Copies of this chain bind each other. A is one copy, B any other.
Amino acid sequence: MTYSVAVAGASGYAGGEVLRLLADHPDFEVTTVTAHANAGQRLIDVHPHLRSLEHLELVDTTPENLGGHDVVFLGLPHGKSGELTEQLDSSTLVVDCGADHRLVDEADWADFYGGEFYGSWPYGLPELIRHDGSRQRDALVGVKRIAVPGCNVTAISLGLAPGLAAHVVEGDDIVAVLAVGPSGAGKALRTDLLASEIMGSASAYGVGGRHRHVPEIIQNLRGASGARISVSFTPVLVPMSRGILATSTARLAPGATASDVRSAWELAYADEPFVHLLPEGRFPRTGDVTGANVALVGLAVDEAAGRVVAVTALDNLVKGTAGAAIQSANIALGLGETTGLPVNGVAP
């Protein structure tokens, strides 16, 4: 069967990327696209790259317009999905690319986001390993609500979870620094996101533990390790539209050897279709996963520093958002997990 799909927030970068992937998915048909300020426009005028969807027109983001579909993807600012979703039928699969339902702990929500808390949903990072050895994908089968992870969170979680679950690294002093492109900030009209400001420059933001992705990172890594997690997280904005390169480091566990470390990651990702450990001595480039639903992980043990360094590359809009959304929806609906998802990047 073909599932009918609505995409809310279709004029943004996340919504646009969901549409790009859905356009090539054999089991989904996009019938409704909604927006706020852009309602009334043709989709092709907002996203001139989505040629195959030029028949679609943006309508208002209302429960009425979103109702009556098999699947609804939400690409809305945080705080906007809770109330809206309550008005959608419980039999509809709702996949939220925003932050509203990622956090389990209401106190974390209050600390980092604020406003009404609508509760957590099954978390859309299928490859996430847990300390009991299970994967997050098991928790997605048959569900009707999915919270898509934050893009930075995915990069760090995929980078370090295998070692934490295997107890070859310690979780109590993790440091992660990410090079990220500005599309992660969406189309917000801010001076600091203008091309003239970004090109030729790198800058850090959310420094010192105040970035909203911190509690979500901790939540995932605690699930992997089964123990307390501490993380120093710094995102660095760099001049490329897409991509995240996460350098995540954790202390080598006492007694763990370099071989133990590599084995932990190899075992974790040996059968994963979308997450690949690179051979020893090789490290990934974000340019190699542009447009692909793939995360690449490079791994090194720094014996002198007593740290393991995992470098993860992914496309923030694909494996970091839209691809994860569709991969999780595939699982929820019982489709093949890889259906309709690209594994080859567009390079150079």
Give residues in A with beta carbon < 8 Å to B: 13, 16, 20, 23-24, 47-53, 173, 175, 177, 179, 181-183, 187, 189-191, 193-205, 207-209, 214, 230-234, 236, 238-243, 245, 247, 249, 251, 276, 283-292, 294, 296, 298, 300-307, 309, 311, 313, 342-348
Known: A305-B232, A307-B175. A199 touches B209 (CB 8 A): no
7 cross-chain pairs, A with B, having the tightest CB-CB distances, nearest first? A201-B287, A208-B300, A49-B345, A195-B198, A177-B177, A203-B285, A49-B347
B23, B181, B204, B283: the one contacting A247 at CB < 8 Å is B204
A232 and B199 within 8 A (CB): no
A305 and B200 within 8 A (CB): no
The residue on B at minimum CB distance from A274 is: B51
| Bound CA span A276–B306, Å | 32
Known: A13-B196, A298-B207, A346-B291. A245 touches B50 (CB 8 A): no
Instruction: State the Cβ distance, A290 to closest chain B Cβ, in Å.
Output: 7
A50 / chain B contacts, CB cutoff of 8 Å:
344-345
Q: In the complex, given contacts A179-B202, A201-B290, what are 6 additional A-B residue pairs having Cβ atoms less than 8 angstroms apart?
A: A51-B276, A177-B177, A201-B347, A203-B287, A230-B306, A232-B302
The residue on B at minimum CB distance from A182 is: B195
Instruction: State the Cβ distance, A302 to closest chain B Cβ, in Å.
Output: 4
A236 / chain B contacts, CB cutoff of 8 Å:
179, 245, 247
A-B contact pairs, 14 of them (CB 8 A): A13-B196, A49-B287, A173-B251, A173-B305, A173-B307, A175-B232, A196-B241, A199-B239, A199-B348, A201-B285, A202-B238, A202-B287, A207-B247, A291-B291
A283 and B245 within 8 A (CB): no
Known: A203-B245, A232-B307. A208 touches B294 (CB 8 A): no
A239 / chain B contacts, CB cutoff of 8 Å:
195, 199, 238-240
The residue on B at minimum CB distance from A187 is: B191
The residue on B at minimum CB distance from A54 is: B276
B204 and A245 within 8 A (CB): yes
B240, B284, B301, B303: the one contacting A48 at CB < 8 Å is B284
Instruction: State the Cβ distance, A314 to closest chain B Cβ, in Å.
Output: 11
A234 / chain B contacts, CB cutoff of 8 Å:
177, 247, 249, 309, 311
A208 and B302 within 8 A (CB): yes
| Bound CA span A189–B24, Å | 33
B203 and A286 within 8 A (CB): yes
Instruction: State the Cβ distance, A286 to closest chain B Cβ, in Å.
Output: 5
Instruction: State the Cβ distance, A189 to closest chain B Cβ, in Å.
Output: 4
B202 and A240 within 8 A (CB): yes
The residue on B at minimum CB distance from A176 is: B177
Instruction: State the Cβ distance, A63 to closest chain B Cβ, in Å.
Output: 27
A182 / chain B contacts, CB cutoff of 8 Å:
194-196
Instruction: State the Cβ distance, A272 to closest chain B Cβ, in Å.
Output: 12
Instruction: State the Cβ distance, A210 to closest chain B Cβ, in Å.
Output: 8
Instruction: State the Cβ distance, A58 to closest chain B Cβ, in Å.
Output: 15
| Bound CA span A209–B24, Å | 40
| Bound CA span A258–B47, Å | 28
The residue on B at minimum CB distance from A243 is: B202
